[in-house]
Amino acid sequence: MASISGICSSSPSLKPQKPLLRSIHSLRRDSLAFPTRSPPKLADRIQSVAREISAELSSSSKPEILKKKEKIEALEKDPRALWRRYVDWLYQHKDLGLLIDVSRVGFSDEFVAEMEPRFRGAFKAMEELEKGAIANPDEGRMVGHYWLRSPKLAPKSSLRSQIENTLDAVCSFANDVVSGKIKPPTSPEGRFTQILSVGIGGSALGPQFVAEALAPDNPPLKIRFIDNTDPAGIDHQIAQLGDELASTLVIVISKSGGTPETRNGLLEVQKAFREAGLEFAKQGVAITQENSLLDNTARIEGWLARFPMFDWVGGRTSEMSAVGLLPAALQGIDIREMLAGASIMDEANRTTVVRNNPAALLALCWYWASDGIGSKDMVVLPYKDSLLLFSRYLQQLVMESIGKEFDLDGNRVNQGLTVYGNKGSTDQHAYIQQLREGVHNFFVTFIEVLRDRPPGHDWELEPGVTCGDYLFGMLQGTRSALYSNNRESITVTVQEVTPRSVGALIALYERAVGIYASLVNINAYHQPGVEAGKKAAGEVLALQKRVLTVLNEASCKEPVEPLTLEEVAERCHAPEDIEMIYKVVAHMAANDRAIIAEGSCGSPRSLKVFIGECNVDELYA
């Protein structure tokens, strides 16, 4: 363990910055002020400061150009020079009809050269990853989402068979449902007409994005989602189904098979089925890891079908697994085209020449624009209604991958890249004002779709001008207006929104995230921070149970004994949790599950509370 003196006597050329010196002094103060403090706490502090210093030192290895970056004058504005830059850096994938324009991001040739060694490392890491290396070291897992669209790449024939067999099973099941060969036991239509997808995070965002982007106007089955544990939201979806619940295929998606929100959604939907006199198992499908709680439930209860998820596919990169493919196929979306687009994009991203590698180009721009530390947000602006959910999909893909506290060497780096946005030109009437003239804390990614309407369907709303021309003009105008005020942007262009182009876009960003993560030396494939929230939620519910027990005891007395919050906290043996107890009581009271005998929730100290019915069984539970 580094001693304080050791980590303080850094060489003059690499003196830690002021904030770190403050942490060291506070560390000294702590150790002097509390000599009796148990060594482990002090050791933790020393380790923490050591990590902060080494992170500072390692970040001081930041490419020289970034240190000078803030000194770079305004972006290039000469039209001739910009045109040259546009042409020189334009990436084109002919087969996919995809272009990437990075000319409005101001990185210099010097920067590109400086970054070359990092890219070599990133390409090597990606090559190893695709060969089956443990690319997720924190969870000891391989990372295999690229194999889903190129099964022959899988490092073992057994994995290849799993991928191919699952795809065949998905296609076969979807065909049988759409054709009516597989149908619900009792439904007026005599076939499935609706999909109710129950899942959250990566078990919802991909299917939601793809449904919005690619579902036909009249799909064989119309999809809706329960992606939260909000009772009103669940009720709304079930109410909208109405009698069509009888012809609804319920797909429950959870890689872990134990996510509380998804489990609650399932229980609520099963209750709705019981109340409608329907047999859930005959209309239920599970997509989860084999032998998970959900998988075993579906097997034991005899659900209609089960499809596997693999531990080497992360939730946020599972769209090309059964998670995304089954819902898409049931909507009549050509999933083999989606897989093909992704596979072709993957192949393009295997070149080790940065300017010929679309994903590397994005990663280069992200690093330049956000200084490799997320100093600027990524605003995603598709100028196409059907791509509305792309930014929400990218929020999880990018932020759950890049937003990490420690890097692969254990340095505290608090990395990230914030993503937001909806669609253009709509967002021009919401926050583009701030982007154009306000705080300069972002760069934009425009997603341009050239085809406005299917051939033969266009219409001029004024001589020589169509609606689509306006959309085109708004995108280009916004790009120019932002750039003229030194706001940088990337433009990704596709010919039209098709399964192939959507598959390519998904693959492009999956790879860009993986490459960028290597550039900033983090593990893109785990999500330790999510567990903290789940654990805390469990503690709140445990406290709530104790509060209810205490209130029940008080309510079973003759006469009933309304309690103050202090009394409840004391009887829960949790005086330090009085604020959470107050929130539990307020939530209970708002749902008629606790009765305010005196006072009001607005003045917590006045509160006296009990619960309506004494539950004698609970008393002796």
Ligand X SMILES: O=P(O)(O)OC[C@H]1O[C@H](O)[C@H](O)[C@@H](O)[C@@H]1O
Q: List residues binding ligand X (CB under 6 A).
A: 200-203, 254-256, 259, 262, 315-316, 400, 527, 530
- Counting Cβ atoms within 10 Å, is residue 140 exposed (0-12), middle (13-18) or buried (19+)? exposed
Catalytic residue status for 189: no
From CA 229, how far away is CA 263, in angstroms rounded?
A: 9
Which of 71, 152, 429, 573 does the annotation list as catalytic?
429
* Cβ-based nearer residue to ligand X, 315 or 514: 315
- Counting Cβ atoms within 10 Å, is residue 346 exposed (0-12), middle (13-18) or buried (19+)? buried
Alpha helices by DSSP H, listed for 277-334, are 293-301, 322-330
User: Strand pairing of 465-466 and 460-462?
Assistant: antiparallel
From CA 328, how far away is CA 170, in angstroms rounded?
A: 10
List the one residue out of 335, 277, 327 whose CA is nearest residue 307: 327
Backbone angles phi, psi at 9, to 5 degrees: -90, 60
Q: Which residue type sits at 331?
A: Q
List the one residue out of 265, 246, 245 whose CA is nearest residue 254: 265
* Cβ-based nearer residue to ligand X, 203 or 521: 203
From CA 611, how far away is CA 560, in angstroms rounded?
A: 9
Q: Which residue type sits at 204?
A: A
* Cβ-based nearer residue to ligand X, 200 or 585: 200
> What is the three-state SS of 543-594?
HHHHHHHHHHHHHCCCCCCCECHHHHHHHCCCHHHHHHHHHHHHHHHHCCCC
* Cβ-based nearer residue to ligand X, 283 or 527: 527
* Cβ-based nearer residue to ligand X, 248 or 527: 527
From CA 129, how far away is CA 122, in angstroms rounded?
A: 10
* Cβ-based nearer residue to ligand X, 527 or 552: 527
* Cβ-based nearer residue to ligand X, 193 or 254: 254
State CA 56 to chain mean position distance.
28
- Residue 91's DSSP bridge partners are 100
* Cβ-based nearer residue to ligand X, 372 or 514: 514
From CA 604, how far away is CA 580, in angstroms rounded?
A: 12
Which of 124, 534, 545, 557 does the annotation list as catalytic?
534
**Start-to-end C-alpha separation, the chain:** 50
Residue 158, both tokens: 């057994």
* Cβ-based nearer residue to ligand X, 377 or 400: 400
Coil vs helix vs strand at 79: helix
Max Cα-Cα span within the chain: 89
Total residue count of the chain as it appears in this document: 621
**Rg of the chain, C-alpha, whole Å:** 28
* Cβ-based nearer residue to ligand X, 139 or 212: 139
Catalytic residue status for 93: no
Which of 400, 488, 510, 553 does the annotation list as catalytic?
400
From CA 386, how far away is CA 209, in angstroms rounded?
A: 9
User: Least distance to ligand X from the beta carbon of 389, Å?
Assistant: 15
Catalytic residue status for 290: no
User: Strand pairing of 98-101 and 222-226?
Assistant: unpaired
List the one residue out of 210, 203, 205, 217 whose CA is nearest residue 498: 210
From CA 57, how far away is CA 15, in angstroms rounded?
A: 8
With CB atoms as reference, the residue minimizing the distance to ligand X is 315
- C-alpha distances (whole Å) from 521 to each of 53, 125, 227, 389, 518 are 16, 11, 32, 29, 5
Instruction: Tell me which residues are annotated as active site.
Output: 400, 429, 534
